[in-house]
Amino acid sequence: MDRFVWANGLLEMNETLVIQVTICPLFPGHVLFLDLKKSPKIAKIVIHLHPAPENKEPGPYQHSKYSFIKLSFKEHGQIEFYRRLTEEMTQKRWENTPVLQPIPTGIGPKAGRTRAVGIVGIERKLEEKRKETDKNISEAFEDLSKLMEKAKEMVEVSKSIANKIKDKQGDITEDETIRFKSYLLSMGIANPVTRETHGSGTQYHIQLAKQLGDMLQAPLEERGGMMALTEVYCLVNRARGMELLSPEDLVNACKMFESLKLPLRLRVFDSGVMVVQLQSHSEEEMIASALDNVSDKGSLTAEEFAKLLGLSVLLAKERLLLAEKMGHLCRDDSVEGLRFYPNLF
Amino acid sequence: MHRRGVGAGAIAKKKLAEAKYKERGTVLAEDQIAQMSKQLETFKTHLEEFASKHKQEIRKNSQFRVQFQEMCATIGVDPLASGKGFWSEMLGVGDFYYELGVQIIEVCLALKHRNGGLITLDELHHRVLKGRGKFAQDVSQDDLVRAIKKLKAMGNGFGMIPVGGSYLVQSVPAELNMDHTVVLQLAEKKGYVTVNEIRDSLKWERERASHVLDHLLKEGLAWLDSQAAGEPQYWLPALFSELLSRDVTPEEANQMTP
């Protein structure tokens, strides 16, 4: 409810009953803000309203010199009402409700049912719905608990296997290792055994790495040979639409580029920024280009460099930092920004 | 008294026992992996059953999602680790959170030039909801927090700073230590902070306060208003919208009531 309107007690199609309180006559208008007054005897809520729009429905009064209404609660209820009202105002559920088309009457399964009219009928329907929802929820929670018990057993088994592998109690074959890893992946259990740097090494990630190798060639070329991993994540998942990759899937796949001899590399800068870069864009080339550009212009900030190369500011900065690290550039760090100069020392 | 476990005989016996144990160990590990395969199939069936009954619940009910996530965490399972995991495939939880991740990254990227890569969780929530449109599934702040936690795997400095009862979401690798965080928290009330306010509230020396504020300026997280009455004010754009949309408090409303 984003407005106070004089209306009959029936709910419209897209309205839900939040709380019902018997109230006195009102003036129409938009709700601006609330105020909970506690006068000594009777609790009141003051609701300040925007002026009513031109096309408002007629109400008990055409005009009012006041821009607020007062709700008096003679017999409690004010706290609950205030709470619900502020909740509704914050949640703004009315913005989420789809606008329904008017349903023609007398068509479909509803034809035979008498439409319960009046507040009592509606309340009864809502009560039924609430009970059913509650039943569904509690059943869902029950089923969830049972499911988790079974999942827990799986975790125990995998831990036990992992321990055995760790203690080298038994040489399991490579095949079995791969199978074990894929089981862990399916269950979402972290691999406690291996600390290998080549990702989880499952078949899934190997395939994924190859797909990425194909898919990212063109985008990388367009972006100067380098893309932040978050950018790759968005690009790939937007393209997929469904069956999206998790961030970890992406990282694990990218870690396999080198071992699969694909022409891409995952790289982590000192700042923690992770990028995918084309192997053909070597480090020396990047540094040389950074130095060239900076010397050409005398000095450059990350923003200026980014604009020059069509890169994101983040990656432009990383390249400049890299060139600085290698001793080719030096910085001037002031409140006006970070500027890089050729290193003449 | 016969001393046991000593002598060549005992050593040989021990070696034999170890070898046998190793052999058994091999068999056990292999056995277990085969056994796990069967158990996995069984579990998958249970999960399918659960999904057919309650998949909608997860989709619609954010409270249920919270419960689900917490239970998984308790038993040591990460349902969001991989899109290839059972949880993701059968319950559809994966796509929900991974897509949310994309939306979060995009919002942060779009606003970075303005707020330097720092945004309140409230504003992020508001903008993500807006971007998703009227008919999309509801998203709670808990959902956002979980999606952000997953994004951390990709580097790039996604993090959350507790401020004023909620969080600031950081999406750039700017280094923010305790000093910076504390100043951000101080600035939360009014959206800006001054050197003297820092000195008064936190009892720091001028040097330390200036140093922190300079860093925030350099990182683009703060803007300087040097023409403010009194002393210069350091404003945090990340906190701007928060102020504009904040509800009027009852005290303030009192002053307005005729």
* Beta pairing partners, B172: none
Is the CB of A33 less than 8 angstroms away from the CB of B247? yes
pLDDT value at position A130? 84
Which of A90, A165, A189 is facing B29, going by the closest CB pair? A165
* Average pLDDT for runs of 10 along chain A of length 345: 55 51 44 51 68 57 68 70 72 52 43 59 86 81 91 88 72 78 87 52 88 94 89 95 92 92 91 89 82 91 87 86 91 85 87
Give the contacts of B240 (CB within 8 A, at least 6 positions apart). Answer: B115, B191
Strand duo A29-38 + A337-342: pairing = unpaired
**pLDDT higher than threshold 80 for residue B97:** yes
Q: For the segment B21-71, what is each residue's pLDDT rounded down to a tens digit?
A: 556 555 566 777 888 888 999 999 999 999 999 988 888 888 899 999 999
Residues B139, B128: contact at Cβ < 8 Å? yes
d(C-alpha B150, C-alpha A230), whole Å: 12
Of all residues in chain A, the one with the smallest CA distance to B245 is: A90
Kindly report the backbone phi and psi dihedral angles of residue B75, in degrees, each rounded to the nearest multiple of 5, phi listed first.
-90, -5
Nearest CA-CA distance, residue A233 and chain B, Å: 7
Is the CB of A140 less than 8 angstroms away from the CB of B224? no
Nearest CA-CA distance, residue A96 and chain B, Å: 5
Q: What is the mean pLDDT of residues B154-178?
A: 87
In this structure, the number of other CB atoms found within 10 A of the CB of residue A339 comes to: 19
Q: Measured on CA atoms in the order B50, B54, B55, B59, is the torsion positive or negative?
A: negative
pLDDT value at position A168? 67
**pLDDT higher than threshold 80 for residue B233:** yes
Q: For the segment A81-117, what is each residue's pLDDT rounded down to a tens digit?
A: 777 777 767 666 555 544 444 444 444 444 444 555 6
Q: Which residue in B22, B24, B32 has the most chain A C-beta atoms within 10 A of its own C-beta, making it the best mutation to test that interface?
A: B32
Please name the fold of domain A283-342. Arc Repressor Mutant, subunit A (1.10.10)
Residues A254, A277: contact at Cβ < 8 Å? no
Q: What is the mean pLDDT of residues B144-152?
A: 95
d(C-alpha A17, C-alpha A10), whole Å: 10
Chain B contacts of A180, Cβ < 8 Å?
A: 33, 36
Nearest CA-CA distance, residue B2 and chain A, Å: 32
At A344, the amino acid letter reads: L
Q: For the segment A123-134, what is each residue's pLDDT rounded down to a tens digit?
A: 888 888 888 877
Q: Measured on CA atoms in the order B135, B140, B145, B150, is the torsion positive or negative?
A: negative
| Residues recorded for chain B | 258
pLDDT value at position A55? 56
Give me the total of CB pairs closer than 8 Å, taking one residue from chain A and one from chain B.
226
Q: Complex ipTM, two decimals?
A: 0.78
Of all residues in chain B, the one with the smallest CA distance to A70 is: B257
Is the CB of B224 less than 8 angstroms away from the CB of A335? yes
DSSP type of residue A95:
G
Q: Does domain A203-278 have CATH number 1.10.10.10?
A: yes
What tokens appear for B198 in the block? 């820092």
Is the CB of B36 less than 8 angstroms away from the CB of A145? no
pLDDT value at position A112? 41
Chain A contacts of B39, Cβ < 8 Å?
A: 153-154, 157
Please give the model's pTM, rounded to 2 decimal places. Answer: 0.68
Q: For the segment B191-213, what is each residue's pLDDT rounded down to a tens digit?
A: 899 999 999 999 999 999 999 99
Please name the fold of domain B96-254. Arc Repressor Mutant, subunit A (1.10.10)
Which of A158, A188, A333 is facing B79, going by the closest CB pair? A188
In this structure, the number of other CB atoms found within 10 A of the CB of residue B179 comes to: 16
Q: Write out the DSSP string of A130-184.
A: HHHHHHHHHHHHHHHHHHHHHHHHHHHHHHHHHHHHHTT-S---HHHHHHHHHHH
d(C-alpha A155, C-alpha A176), whole Å: 18
Which of A140, A145, A172 is facing B33, going by the closest CB pair? A172
Which of B27, B81, B254 is facing A188, going by the closest CB pair? B81
In this structure, the number of other CB atoms found within 10 A of the CB of residue A162 comes to: 19
The helix (run of H) or strand (run of E) holding residue A36 is strand A29-38
Considering chain B, what percentage of its residues have pLDDT values greater than 90?
Answer: 48
Chain A contacts of B137, Cβ < 8 Å?
A: none
Of all residues in chain B, the one with the smallest CA distance to A49 is: B257
Is the CB of A147 less than 8 angstroms away from the CB of B46? yes
Chain B contacts of A337, Cβ < 8 Å?
A: 218
Of all residues in chain B, the one with the smallest CA distance to A242 is: B95
The phi-psi region of residue B229 (left if phi > 0; otherwise alpha if psi is between -120 and 50; otherwise beta) is: beta
pLDDT value at position A253? 94
pLDDT value at position A25? 41
Which of A33, A143, A244 is facing B99, going by the closest CB pair? A244
The helix (run of H) or strand (run of E) holding residue A232 is helix A229-240
Residues B113, A307: contact at Cβ < 8 Å? no
What tokens appear for A182 in the block? 């894929």
Chain B contacts of A247, Cβ < 8 Å?
A: 98, 101, 150-154
Any idea where the domains of chain B sit in the sequence? 8-91, 96-254
| A241: nearest Cα among B252, B99, B135 | B99
Of all residues in chain A, the one with the smallest CA distance to B215 is: A335
